[in-house]
C-alpha cells in the first residue's frame, strides 16, 4: 500500500510577545499579505484557547507564516532558535540587505549554524525579529 508522506514545509505559526509589533515589523520588511485574523471574540476555538492570531501570505498559499498571542505564553527562544526563508528570484540578497539597513535591522552575513548547508549559488543573511527568533534569508 502506498504511504502518504509529508512533501514540504508549508507554514509556521509562532507565538509572539506582541501581535501588533510583529505584524508591523514583518509586513514592513517582507511586504507580506495580511490574509486573516482570528480573535477569541469571533472564533470558537480561539475563544477556548484564549488566543489571537494574524495570518500572512507570501502570495500563493492563504498563509505561510502566522503569529499567535496567548495569555500566559511568552516566547523565550528555547524551543525555536531559527527558521529560514528563500527570497523570490526577482529580489537579490544585496537588495534585501539594503532593506535591512534602511530599517535599521542588525544582521550578519552567512548561515546561523556552522552545520547548515547553503545551496550552491545562494548566499545567506541572518538577523533577529522582535521576538528574538533568528531569521535566515537565502537568495542569489
What one-character DSSP code corresponds to residue 121?
T
Residues in contact with another protein, counted by CB under 8 A, come to a total of 84
Shortest Cβ distance from residue 129 to another protein (Å)?
Answer: 11
**Residue with smaller CB distance to another protein, 104 or 114:** 114
125 DSSP 8-state letter: E
**Alpha-carbon Rg for the chain in angstroms:** 16
Closest CB to another protein among residues 79, 104: 79
| CA proximity to 116, closest of 97, 133, 100, 136 | 136
Closer of 82 and 107 to another protein (Cβ)? 82
The interface mask with another protein, positions 91-130, x = CB under 8 A, is x---xx--x------------xxxxxx-------------
Residue 54: closest CA among 40, 66, 42, 39: 66
* Of 18, 83, 109, 127, the one binding another protein by CB under 8 A: 83
The answer to whether the Cα torsion of 64, 97, 18, 23 is positive or negative is negative
Q: What Å distances lie between residue 126 and 26, 27, 54, 84, CA to CA?
A: 15, 18, 24, 9
How many CB atoms within 10 Å of residue 79? 8
Out of 97, 123, 125, 133, name the contact with another protein by CB under 8 A: 133
- Within 21-80, which residues bind another protein (CB under 8 A)? 23-24, 27, 30-48, 53, 55, 57-66, 68, 70, 72-80
Tell me how far, at minimum, the Cβ of 59 lies from another protein, in Å: 5
Amino acid at each position: 500500500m502506498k504511504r502518504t508522506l509529508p512533501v514540504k514545509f508549508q507554514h509556521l505559526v509562532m507565538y509572539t510577545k506582541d501581535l501588533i509589533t510583529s505584524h508591523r515589523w514583518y509586513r514592513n520588511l517582507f511586504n507580506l499579505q495580511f490574509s486573516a485574523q482570528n480573535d477569541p471574540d469571533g472564533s470558537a476555538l480561539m475563544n477556548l484557547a484564549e488566543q489571537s492570531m494574524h495570518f500572512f501570505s507570501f502570495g500563493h498559499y492563504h498563509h505561510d507564516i502566522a503569529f499567535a498571542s496567548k495569555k500566559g505564553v511568552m516566547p523565550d527562544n528555547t524551543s525555536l532558535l531559527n527558521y529560514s526563508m528563500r527570497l523570490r528570484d526577482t529580489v537579490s540578497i544585496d537588495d534585501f540587505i539594503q532593506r535591512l539597513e534602511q530599517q535599521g535591522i542588525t544582521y550578519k552575513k552567512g548561515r546561523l549554524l556552522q552545520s547548515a548547508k547553503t545551496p550552491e549559488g545562494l548566499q545567506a543573511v541572518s538577523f533577529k525579529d522582535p521576538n528574538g527568533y533568528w531569521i535566515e534569508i537565502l537568495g542569489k
